[in-house]
Amino acid sequence: MSDRAGEPGTAPTGASPDDPTPLAVLRRLVAESAPLAPIHAAVHARLTDVERGRCDARMPTVIGDGLLESLLVLADFVLGVSYSSTLRAGDRIVTVRLGVQLLGRPLSGEELRATGTLDDSRAGVGLSSATITDREGRVVARCEGRNAALTDGLAGQYASTPPTFANRPSGWRLLMPHRGEDPTRDGTTMVAHPDPWTANAAGVVQGGALAGLAARGLSHALDVLPDDFSITFVRPFRPGDGAVRCRVVVEHTGRRLRVGRAELVDDRGRLLATASGTAFRH
């Protein structure tokens, strides 16, 4: 991707390590307009405000790109930040579950805005909710997420400095190049090779970027964008470790209701995530 302005791990100018707590680090990212992870640098997801247990962010969408895929990246961003802003220095999080209910269809190429709020936190797990609106303030989606705090060993894998924003935002489909395989009696399969810029701060693909593949597979199999989408993550994927396969089965297709489920697996057949999607026809 030749239009990148910097490599992962490049610190923004003026970053101060004085206060290492997540909230202080996130506030510095806001002040310096710096991205949190490579995926956010690639899609230009910007944190615009953060307090303990709450945050705001915005992200452009690219004309011709997938709406639900973009929503999932932004939703995962604010849901995770709302929880991580309450943690201790050195703590990191991982997305366990992500759900999105679509309420509108903004035009591609428009900016999306999101507000995330931590609703509950106990035993190292945070439950957050978020609202995503278009630039006119109309609600596009309501989202929920469950994130878990990592152990010290896993948290140590995270980069200590953020990347630099790309020269221009990349569409999800460019970051997750994929192709469909011929359907079989067991369902359909989509195969993707994630770009390194889909990675989070730990250098793995997880959360919203990975969820987009399941959403794309379900949309293709159901022949309509799911109104209700949810995904549970089992293990992350490291770019360069082969392909991610999305296997989709349509469980019901009627005049008004379509239901499907998807599994994401790696080349070794290991389960990465499970997802479900429901589409309603009015």
Compute the residue count for the chain: 282
SS3 166: coil
Classify residue 238: in a domain, yes or no: yes
Q: Looking at the structure, do residues 86 and 208 belong to the same domain, yes or no? A: no
Q: Looking at the structure, do residues 149 and 191 belong to the same domain, yes or no? A: no
For residue 229 the two structure tokens come to 């989408």
What's the confidence (pLDDT) of residue 171? 87
**In which domain, by residue range, is 105 found?**
22-155
Q: Read off the pLDDT of residues 117-135 as tens digits, 9 standing for 90 and up.
A: 999 999 999 999 999 999 8
The number of angstroms, rounded, from the C-alpha of 62 to the middle of its chain's C-alpha atoms is: 16
Q: Looking at the structure, do residues 126 and 251 belong to the same domain, yes or no? A: no
SS3 235: coil
Q: Looking at the structure, do residues 33 and 139 belong to the same domain, yes or no? A: yes
Q: Looking at the structure, do residues 203 and 231 belong to the same domain, yes or no? A: yes
Q: Looking at the structure, do residues 148 and 181 belong to the same domain, yes or no? A: no
What's the confidence (pLDDT) of residue 282? 67
Q: Read off the pLDDT of residues 189-210 as tens digits, 9 standing for 90 and up.
A: 889 999 999 998 888 999 999 9
Q: How many angstroms separate the CA atoms of 3 and 261, rounded?
A: 36
What's the confidence (pLDDT) of residue 98? 98
**Counted domains in the chain:** 2
Classify residue 77: in a domain, yes or no: yes
Classify residue 15: in a domain, yes or no: no
Question: Kind and range of the H or E element at 79?
Answer: helix 67-84
Q: Looking at the structure, do residues 144 and 187 belong to the same domain, yes or no? A: no
Q: Could you say which residues of the chain have pLDDT below 70? A: 1-17, 151-162, 181-187, 282
Q: Which one of 155, 180, 215 terminates a domain?
A: 155
The number of angstroms, rounded, from the C-alpha of 141 to the middle of its chain's C-alpha atoms is: 14
Q: Which one of 107, 124, 155 terminates a domain?
A: 155
What's the confidence (pLDDT) of residue 152? 53
- Domain with 92 in it: what CATH number? 3.10.129.10
